[in-house]
Structure formats: structure tokens, C-alpha cells
Amino acid sequence: MIDAVGVTKRYGDRVAVDDVTFTVRPGAVTGFLGPNGAGKSTTMRMILGLDAQTAGEVRVNGKRYADHPAPLREVGALLEAKAVHTGRSAYNHLLALALTHGIPRRRVDEVVELVGLREVARKRVGGFSLGMGQRLGVAAALLGDPHTLVLDEPVNGLDPEGVRWIRQLLRSLVADGRTVFLSSHLMSEMELTADHLVIIGRGRLIADTSMAEFTARFSRKVVRVRTPEGGALRDLLVGPDVTVTAPETGLLEVHGLTSGEIGQLACRNAIPLEELTPVTASLEEAFMDLTQDAVEFSVHQDVLTERTAS
């Protein structure tokens, strides 16, 4: 359980996180979604007390992270791929962290085994690949067998097998009743793992909603229709709840009608159809729309300002 209330982080004049309030509920994967630079990592560092918030409060299981007698027992965190001394072996890194809490050595062996690093555990971390570094980070996060996990972009740099492994791990953690707070800048990743979504852009909270609710609200159904008589079909289809766009000649994208309805209309009016495909507009697009205004350096804007300047 993580409670963030009115959390704000300012760096001089720049506001990185602006009055953000959300709750990460136990027994579910909460996705923390936002474009790069939206303030996700800063928020996560504030949860762990690594960065001090300018205003507001973050509590983990009812207390500030630093006030827990055994912080690693409460929250396991994977923040950066490598928050590890490159000259130390993976095993020694984990043991050093375990010793601060009096976590037994057998637990170090367990997490090494769990993340599949046994063969390289005695090798220096400096030679690790990005994927191995991520596995080591996950091992460190699991060291205290914590109730809550905070994972910043855990699939970054992982190969497909690694990605699948992370997903399975997340599922098994939640099945144990744990709280998982997972950040990503990819909606597609969240669709597969998250039950709940906290979306931020430019440091502001944009949405705090269940995945199901988000899907119901934002996934638009589009039907792609290819026909030589685009103009005629379009006139037939348009109505109060129906919008039709023509991205290229002979191709229509229809919102608000099913493929069956379009097919029957076309048949009745003897309009030949070359293609009739129902397409579910991805949540990625919905997410992009939602955060578009919030993207800090919008390409579109840059182009505009360049043009006005010249």
C-alpha cells in the first residue's frame, strides 16, 4: 500500500512533479504510466526517500519509508538498471544489502536462484549485460521478501524471454497478495500486466483509474473500409454518432458503426467493397491522445515554433 498525497518536487523553477495524489492498492499491479520525463522516476525515488519532496507526503504501509525498522522488508525497489558497484560480484552486492537488515545468507542464495543468476553470481557486475543487471536489480528488490514492490521500467533492455519472465514474476507476486507499482512509458506493456493505472504527464496526474474502466472509456472501435466509391459510401454512412475519415483515396475509417452495419448498407446500395476490417484502436493511441498536451517537448510544437521563427 502506497499513499501519495499532494506530492510536489521542484528543482529551482522547474516543477518535476506537481501536486500528485494517488493510492497504490494491495494485491494488484498498478501501472504508473507517462511519457519520458513525466516525473515517474522522481516520484518513485520520493517513495523511497531518496529524493525529498518539496511538498506533500508519501507513505508506504502507513509510514514514511525511512521510518520503517526494516525498509527492505516493506518495499523492494528496482530503480535504475545498475545501482550497483561495478567492481563487486552480484552475490557480494546482495549480501552487502542483506547484512544491513540481518537477512540470512540462504535468502541471498534463494533470490540469486530465483532470478536465474546462479552461474554468474560470483562474477563482477561490471561485465553484466543490461538484462543481467535488471535481474540483479529484481533480486535485490526481492531480498527482504517485501509486501510492496516498486519497479521502474523493469522490462527495459530485457530480451523477449526476460520480458516474459518479468510478467510471470509480477503475476506470481500479486497472486501472493503483494502490491506492485510498475512504471512504463509503453501502454502496450501495461495492457498485459496492470490492473490499475496511474497516468501522469509533465508532472501532473492525468488519470487514476482501473484498467477495465480505462479500456471501456478509451478504446474506440474503428472499421476500415476500402472501396472505389468512397465518396458515395461516406455520404451514406455519416450520421450524428458516426464519423468517417479518409486517410487515403479509396480508404475510409468509420467510427460508430459495426462492420456488419456497414456491409449491409453497402450491399443495399450496391457499393462494391474491397475490404471491411474491424480495428480496435489501441490503448496506446488513447494514452498518446491523453498525454499529448502534457508531453514536455512535443515534436509538433518544435516544428511550429521553428516555422514562425524563420
Partner 1 sequence: MTATLTKAQRPSAAPLPDDIRVTQLRVMHSEWHKFWSLRSSYFTLAATLIAMIGFGGLFAAVTATRWTHMRPVEQAHFDPTAVSLRGFYLAQLVVGVLGVLIVTGEYSTGMIRSSLGAAPRRLPVLIAKAVVFAVITLVVTTVTAFVAFFLGQYLLSSHHIETTIGADGVARAVVGAALYLTVVGLMGVGLGFVVRSTAGAIASLFGILLVLPVLGEALPTDWATNIDPYLPSNAGQQIMVVHPDPSALLGPWSGFAVFCGYAAIALVLGAVLLRRRDA
Query: Which range of residues in 25-33, 46-54, 180-188, 292-300 is near partner 1 by CB under 8 A?
Result: 46-54
Number of residues that bind partner 1 (CB under 8 A): 55
Q: Does 80 bind partner 1 (CB under 8 A)?
A: yes
- By CB under 8 A, residue 128 contacts partner 1: no
Taking CB under 8 A as the binding criterion, the range among 20-28, 62-70, 238-246, 291-299 that sits at the site for partner 1 is 62-70
Q: Does 57 bind partner 1 (CB under 8 A)?
A: no
Query: Which of 92, 209, 219, 243 is in the footprint of partner 1 by CB under 8 A?
Result: 92
Binding-site member from 116, 157, 256, 263 for partner 1 (CB under 8 A): 116
Nearest CB to partner 1, comparing residues 129 and 298 = 129
Q: How far is the CB of 85 from partner 1 (least distance, A)?
A: 4
3-state SS string over the chain?
CEEEEEEEEEECCEEEEEEEEEEECCCCEEEEECCCCCCHHHHHHHHCCCCCCCEEEEEECCECHHHCCCHHHHEEEECCCCCCCCCCEHHHHHHHHHHHHCCCHHHHHHHHHHCCCHHHCCCEHHHCCHHHHHHHHHHHHHCCCCCEEEEECCCCCCCHHHHHHHHHHHHHHHHCCCEEEEEECCHHHHHHHCCEEEEEECCEEEEEEEHHHHHHHHCCEEEEEECCCHHHHHHHHCECCEEEEEEECCEEEEECCCHHHHHHHHHHCCCCCCEEEEEECCHHHHHHHHHHCCCCCCHHHHHHHHHHHC
Instruction: Find the shortest distance in angstroms from Cβ 166 to partner 1.
Output: 9
Residues that bind partner 1 (CB under 8 A): 45, 48-52, 65-66, 69-73, 77, 79-80, 82-89, 92-93, 95-97, 99-104, 106-107, 110, 113-114, 116, 140, 142, 144-145, 161-162, 164-165, 168-169, 172-173, 176, 178
